[in-house]
Chains A and B, each alone.
Chain A
Amino acid sequence: MDPDSATAVRVAAAEQEALISGSEAVAVATRLADVDVLTAYPIRPYDTLMQYVAKQIANGEQDAEYIVAESEHSQFEIAKHAEAVGARAMCGSSGVGWCYAFEAIAVTPALRLPLVAMVGNRALDDPGAFGTEHNDALAARDLGWMHVWVDTAQEALDTTLMAYRVAEDRRVFLPCAISTDGAFLTHSQTLVKIPPQTWVDEFLPPYNRGDLRLHPDNPITIAPQVNEDWLMEIRRQTDEAMRNARGVIEEAYRDFRRIFGRGEGNPFFEEYRTEDAEVVLVGMGTLSMPVKVVIRKLREQGEKVGFVRVRWFRPFDHERLGALLSRFRAIGVIDRDFSMGSPFNSGVLANEIRATLYAQDRRPPVVSFIAGLGGREVTIPAVKEMIEQTRRAAAAGKAPADTQWIGVRA
């Protein structure tokens, strides 16, 4: 038995299981992480996180400043300033609420504040829609936030702990957004292993802001007026931090595996039945469920299909992802988002994958799909259709030039 699996046995013995939703899993993680300041503002589905936090506070299970703000903008600003004095903070939002906070979201990375936020992914309504769509979180993709998409409640809990560990690493000091698909994950209950406090404490050191802490004992001036004299150097430093995050994420997952005994494989993306696959689908979040179901079925019939679920979208693991994807004969990318007027009228992920593949010697055709917008279910027939189209591209050695909208009325 190797040391890793020995730990796993210890873990399985000591963890408790609970039937909880994705939002509740994040709430439990904030308690385990001893978060100091949490801010709330209602919008579905994000509000479920803070409803659970509120219960934990009311029942004396969690010791934190829990602040109901008067807007998302204030939610993020309060959390941002709490982070500046060395307090660990958590907030988040969904859809237009995330947009309402955008100013605060935009400035947090350059301040090098390791705020962790949950995005309960939701359509940007108007027109009114509660369902999941990734454009809210993706709107902030270029700003210096780390972005991770999770798939299950267990992953939501584990990733929240991981997010603090990575964000608060002095080599990184960047905020991190955890995307959870509205309803499919935020509201769906599954059995989740809740680790004991001792393991969390071993994994997650206290937040130490060091000489960047705002306190009378450390009289610094934060965010002065730099203009063209210095801004470019500061942007470059933030970029450096994001580059560092790749290695720090690897370290964190390795350590997580050692202590918790789970979290196998590459932290950046999950591979499902890719070993000998000829075509694969690529996507993020909970659409993995119907995709995996179809792939399992097709595999039973001897078809060589697989799935790659992108977990960390920022930083993006272009090297390993590019190397992996170049092996296949064709790739179908499913975007639960849109980027109107973009190259090939694709969603965001498809063009990231195209850019990633460009550096490879072998560049298989990429079919881009848009599906599941506004929380529309990505059905089994829809997945089959996408695999079929991807297979046709493999046979032709060429993908259709334009993006395919799946499951949409004509």
Chain B
Amino acid sequence: MDAKLQVPTLDSPLPVLEPIKGVKKAPLEEYFTSGHRTCQGCESALVMKLMVKAAGPRTVVLGSTGCMYVANTTYYSTSWVVPWMHTQLGSSGSAAVGTAAGYRALMRKGKIKREPINVISFCGDGGGADMGLSAISGALQHMDYNHLILLYDNESYANTDIQASGSTPYGANTTFSPHGKAKRILHKRWKKNMAAMLAAGHPECRYVGTVCASYAVDFMNRIRKALSIGGPTFIHSLDPCPKGWDYDPMLSHELGELAVLAGIWPLFEVEQHQLRLYGKTRAIVEGRQKRLPVRDYLMKQGRFAHFTNDDIDYFQAKIDEMWTRWLIPGVLPFSTDVLNERPPA
């Protein structure tokens, strides 16, 4: 496929954001600093910090309701150095469009200076993968507007006390899916395949990627790519959450790595229609890295403590299916011959 597909109109100025070549070359400036009140070990706070570090000072951030709003912007002690505005829980897509459209009109009409302004709109998994899915989908169709929608996925409605979302992994204990005497497992939905769904469903969109902040340089470079490629873009970040996942806060970084190494969280990007697996995911697929058993990941987290061996086997089988049966392994689940796996009773 031609990698340089023409996009109808990309007339708003784009920033030049060179890739960061190694952690020592990362900018020292911080645009997300003190003043926040996230839990100890909160990976999403790191995601916010790396996101704006990569984007730089000519950036406007919109944030939908959730931990990264409530815990980061206490009145009079905002942690944002760049301009920031709250948006409603399901509005990350619309906030990005409205902000970018406003700048585009004002620049075209000469009402403000014509210059690249990075527009980043973030949402949680509840705000993005559930409630705001429609608005994000709409946003990814409007090619006139340059922006990045970043979904920080802590796999629950965390801010409201850890409730199951469409992005919560199968079987996880949440306050809406407690492990009980009669029912070992209440949350039986399989996690949405959000990034691939958006990439497949929005054929004009020039960049969709998954990231994990355990790999900070890779993470920042994907942000830079998404912001400088033009048009609407989407990045999905898996964020270990000590409170929701119930583990020792010092393990956030390791859990992110384990999710990738166990093949649960594939790192990939779809850049101008080219799919590329990257980082440890690519190493696994190319046989340079052994895919670890899901048990190593699941059993470090209290939210899966009630799992029986059968549950773990089921989880493992579903992950194996991703890599052995899917049409595009780790990315697209279509197959002419799907395993008819059923969850254990």
A interface vs B, CB < 8 Å? 34, 36-37, 63-65, 67, 69-71, 73-74, 77-87, 89, 103-104, 107, 206, 214-216, 218-227, 229-230
Among A214, A218, A226, point to the contact of B75 (Cβ < 8 A): A226
- Across the interface, which residues of B come within 8 angstroms of A206, CB to CB? 111
Nearest CB on A from B100, distance (A)? 9
28 A-B pairs (CB sep. < 8 Å): A37-B105, A69-B94, A69-B138, A70-B135, A71-B138, A74-B135, A77-B94, A77-B98, A78-B94, A80-B98, A81-B95, A81-B98, A82-B98, A84-B102, A85-B103, A86-B102, A87-B102, A87-B103, A89-B102, A103-B88, A104-B88, A218-B83, A219-B81, A219-B83, A220-B84, A224-B75, A225-B69, A225-B74
- Confirm or deny: B97 has a beta carbon within 8 angstroms of a beta carbon on chain A: yes
- Across the interface, which residues of A come within 8 angstroms of B75, CB to CB? 224-227, 229-230
Contact call B97/A78, Cβ cutoff below 8 A: yes
- Across the interface, which residues of A come within 8 angstroms of B97, CB to CB? 67, 74, 78, 81
CA distance A145 to B94 in the complex (A): 21
B residues contacting the other copy or chain, number (CB 8 A): 46
Known: A65-B102, A77-B95, A81-B102. 5 other contacts (CB 8 A): A34-B109, A36-B106, A74-B134, A85-B60, A214-B83
Contact call A216/B101, Cβ cutoff below 8 A: no
CA distance A34 to B58 in the complex (A): 27
CB proximity to A under 8 Å, residues B131-163: 134-135, 137-138, 142, 144
Given contacts A36-B109, A224-B74, contact A71 B135 (CB under 8 A): yes
Among A65, A78, A222, A230, point to the contact of B104 (Cβ < 8 A): A65
- Confirm or deny: B189 has a beta carbon within 8 angstroms of a beta carbon on chain A: no
Among B83, B102, B108, point to the contact of A221 (Cβ < 8 A): B83
- Across the interface, which residues of B come within 8 angstroms of A63, CB to CB? 105, 108-109
- Confirm or deny: B234 has a beta carbon within 8 angstroms of a beta carbon on chain A: no
Contact call B91/A77, Cβ cutoff below 8 A: yes
- Across the interface, which residues of B come within 8 angstroms of A219, CB to CB? 80-83
CA distance A331 to B206 in the complex (A): 64
- Across the interface, which residues of A come within 8 angstroms of B263, CB to CB? none
Residue of B nearest to A65 (CB): B101
CA distance A36 to B99 in the complex (A): 12
Contact call B94/A221, Cβ cutoff below 8 A: no
Per-residue contact bits, chain B 252-287, to A (CB 8 Å; 1 contact, 0 not): 000000000000000000000000000000000000
CA distance A34 to B101 in the complex (A): 15
CA distance A73 to B94 in the complex (A): 9
Among A64, A83, A222, A229, point to the contact of B84 (Cβ < 8 A): A222
Nearest CB on A from B274, distance (A)? 27
CB proximity to A under 8 Å, residues B115-138: 117, 134-135, 137-138
CA distance A191 to B330 in the complex (A): 63
CB proximity to A under 8 Å, residues B55-76: 57-60, 62, 69-70, 73-76
- Confirm or deny: B202 has a beta carbon within 8 angstroms of a beta carbon on chain A: no
- Confirm or deny: B237 has a beta carbon within 8 angstroms of a beta carbon on chain A: no
Given contacts A69-B138, A221-B83, contact A104 B91 (CB under 8 A): yes
Contact call A70/B137, Cβ cutoff below 8 A: yes
Contact call B84/A65, Cβ cutoff below 8 A: no
Among A74, A85, A223, point to the contact of B86 (Cβ < 8 A): A223
- Confirm or deny: B197 has a beta carbon within 8 angstroms of a beta carbon on chain A: no
CA distance A83 to B105 in the complex (A): 11
Nearest CB on A from B166, distance (A)? 18
Nearest CB on A from B173, distance (A)? 28
- Confirm or deny: B242 has a beta carbon within 8 angstroms of a beta carbon on chain A: no
Contact call B109/A214, Cβ cutoff below 8 A: no
Contact call B73/A87, Cβ cutoff below 8 A: no
CA distance A107 to B111 in the complex (A): 27
Contact call B87/A87, Cβ cutoff below 8 A: no
Given contacts A216-B82, A221-B80, contact A65 B62 (CB under 8 A): no
Nearest CB on B from A154, distance (A)? 28
Nearest CB on B from A75, distance (A)? 8
- Across the interface, which residues of B come within 8 angstroms of A84, CB to CB? 85, 98-99, 102
Contact call B117/A216, Cβ cutoff below 8 A: yes
- Across the interface, which residues of A come within 8 angstroms of B91, CB to CB? 73-74, 77, 104
- Across the interface, which residues of A come within 8 angstroms of B98, CB to CB? 37, 77-82, 84, 89
Residue of B nearest to A36 (CB): B105
Contact call A85/B106, Cβ cutoff below 8 A: yes
- Across the interface, which residues of A come within 8 angstroms of B94, CB to CB? 69, 73-74, 77-78, 81
Residue of A nearest to B92 (CB): A77
CA distance A89 to B101 in the complex (A): 10
Residue of A nearest to B86 (CB): A223
- Confirm or deny: B305 has a beta carbon within 8 angstroms of a beta carbon on chain A: no
CA distance A221 to B60 in the complex (A): 10
Task: Return the 4 tightest CB-CB contacts between A and B, nearest first.
Answer: A81-B98, A77-B94, A87-B102, A70-B138
- Across the interface, which residues of A come within 8 angstroms of B84, CB to CB? 220-222
Among B62, B69, B111, B144, point to the contact of A81 (Cβ < 8 A): B62
- Across the interface, which residues of B come within 8 angstroms of A86, CB to CB? 102, 106, 111-112
